[in-house]
Amino acid sequence: MKVAITVPARDDLREIFRYLETNTGTHKARQIIAELRERCMGLQRMPERFALLPGFETNGYRRRVWRDYLIVYRIAAGRVDVLRVLHGASDLLAALEQDRTSFQ
């Protein structure tokens, strides 16, 4: 199954990179972003294995947790759309409510 990373998810990855680069250095930031991208692309294999996101089941949103990060995605039309990549301490509900209409 093909994996598509949406514009908001790409923006999230850039923001995470900038934060990590400032706080941990460029090398570590690149490592973590590469691993996050790898986890996103790994959703092509059995994306149903991760749980539906509580409160967003009707949208078909699922989440994959990796370290301190949440990868929010949905399976649609034979592909996996990565909707957001957020730090676990982020206000997930606010981020997804803001995006809910864009992803319909």
**Which one is predicted more confidently, 58 or 28?**
28
In angstroms, what is the C-alpha Rg of the chain? 13
Q: Give the Cα separation of 51 and 94 in Å (integer).
A: 20
Residue indicated by tokens 């034979």: 78
The pTM assigned to this predicted structure is 0.86
Q: In the chain, what are the domains?
A: 2-99 (3.30.2310.20)
- pLDDT score for 99: 61
Q: Where are the alpha helices (DSSP H) in the chain?
A: 7-24, 26-41, 92-99
Does pLDDT of 103 surpass 60? no
Question: Residue 89: which pLDDT band, with cuts at 50, 70 and 90?
Answer: low
pLDDT digits (tens, 9 = 90+) for 13-38: 999 999 999 999 999 999 999 999 99
pLDDT surpasses 60 at 100: no
